[in-house]
Amino acid sequence: MEFRNLGRSGLRVSLVGLGCNNFGGRIDLDATRKVVHRALDAGITLFDTADSYGNRGGSETMLGEILGDRRKDIVLATKFSQPMNDAGTLKGASRGYIMTAVEASLRRLKTDWIDLYQQHLPDPMTPIDETLRALDDLTRQGKVRYIGCSNLPAWQVTEAVWTSRAHDLGAFASAQDEYSLLARDVERELLPALNAHGLGLLPFYPLAGGLLTGKYKRGQPLPEKSRLTYVKASADRFLTERNWAQLEQLDAFCAKRDRGLLDLAFGWLASRSPVSSIIAGATRPEQIDANIKAVNWKLNQDELAELDGITRTAA
């Protein structure tokens, strides 16, 4: 397993991370235990969850039940700010809510600290300096070791960086955003901002909802129990004419080299700056093995240029 620093921070993470959004939702405790144990045995150290995953708390609770003594062997990342009740009163990035949310996550995870605590969504109601001051206090208390953000536009990431510098507060070490061969919009503004300010990128949806696994074919029935089969919003989002057209070209690219789409998806992301770890979910242990194997494809400059011609979004 390759390890990288999370941006300019001293936190080391495995290049392949485990996304834990399936735990407590798509799969039960027994299936989750099998996936977690395989990831641990395979050398994955970054486990990424959120308080909202698993029907609001299920993912964190399962990890707390399963990890036990292995907790100390991993980088445990979670998130706050998504709604945690139907009334919409438990959400956001205010100081009051953060202090409540972190204690709830620590209880569910059965741990004394969170290695990477991330703001899941922008909060237009809360100034960024209030959010950063609260997170800085949690870091000083030892409850949080590093902080990050997710789904913030480039201008807000830059605002956060400058706020941290101006007020001597802990700064975001990472950003978690959608990035894949079929979703490259972050290259316009966000990636230049992350590189300029030293934040690591943790791409989610690296397989474009499963399209880059190779199991989806145009004109054929969707695979049973796949994400795009039971989540209509995801199917509508990913199963577009543009994506099908690019997928066919990517299939041909891989066929010429006797490799699979999964290898391409992970190998390409591993070549991109400032990717620190690739967050990929799993519902079965064998998917862990496939993800780790896939990241080993080292693409050369000619291959990267050819892929740009297929998938790069026009400015």
Q: What does each C-alpha distance from 27 to 89, 210, 244, 284, 285 come to in angstroms?
A: 28, 17, 29, 9, 12
CA dist., res. 303 & res. 284, Å (int): 31
Task: Sheet containing 144-150: give its strands across.
Answer: 200-204, 172-178, 144-150, 114-119, 75-80, 46-48, 16-19, 278-281
97 an active-site residue?
no
The structure tokens listed for 131 are: 């959010």
Neighbour-count burial of 33, counting CB atoms closer than 10 A to its CB (0-12 exposed, 13-18 middle, 19+ buried): middle
CA dist., res. 140 & res. 188, Å (int): 35
Catalytic positions, please? Answer: 53
